[in-house]
Amino acid sequence: MTSRIARPLSLMTAALLAAGTLSACASSDSNPVGLPTSPASPSAPPTTTTPATPAPTTPANGTIAGTDPGVACDTILPQATVDTVATGFSAREQFSPADPTVKDVITAGGTLCAWESESGGFSIEMAVITLNDDAVPTATAQYLDKGTPTTLFTADAASFTVQDRADLAQAIKGNTWIVMSSAVFATDAEAAPLMNQALRSF
């Protein structure tokens, strides 16, 4: 009796062991060899940021340069026009200007014209230059904009500045920059006949 019961139990045990082994194999090899695997999702491409282009800046102290306009002083400002504002003034070929702005225009490449009273106590200083294209906005910002704007001069930009010894009239027409300094005019209206005559030459 003992041997007949033991054999079926042995067979049952073997069957259970075989089933457990197959189950373990199936769970450990869920992707049999030869079957394609799902490709990994591609990662998003890295984003690139384009740097902003900086806005151009105007130098605080730009360069002003130009050339002599090549027009004679008595053509720019005839003696008859000078006489209407300052009687007894004569043209001077040898003259040392005193006004800083007049000096700057000459240094930049301009020409000097001057008229002086018979006594030598008063003068009209005028500097004229044909500015380089890139120097026009610089001259306007650094010089004309420091004065009081005026519409009495027939120019693209104009100003008048009251100074201690001699007042200053300035005008830019196209690339031509004209600067006048004198004590004979105290307002832009008094300087207008001289400045507008000079502007008509350009």
pLDDT tens sequence for the chain (202 residues): 444 444 443 433 433 344 444 344 344 444 444 444 544 445 555 554 444 433 333 333 468 999 999 999 999 999 999 999 999 999 999 999 999 999 999 999 999 999 999 887 899 999 999 999 999 999 999 999 999 999 999 999 999 999 998 999 999 999 999 999 999 999 999 999 999 999 999 9
Q: Which DSSP string do the residues of 120-140 spell out, in sequence order?
A: SS-EEEEEEEEE-GGGHHHHH
Distances (CA, A) of 105 to 56, 74, 83, 166: 26, 19, 25, 17
**Rounded to whole angstroms, how far apart are CA atoms 82 and 88?**
9
Q: HSE-up of 152 (CA within 13 Å, CB side)?
A: 16
Tell me the domain boundaries of the chain: 66-199
The topology under which CATH files domain 66-199 is Protein Transport Mog1p; Chain A (3.40.1000)
200: which residues sit within 8 A by CB, 6+ positions away? 154
Q: Where are the beta strands (DSSP E) in the chain?
A: 66-67, 89-91, 111-117, 123-131, 148-149, 157-161, 167-173, 176-182
Instruction: Give this prediction's pTM.
Output: 0.70
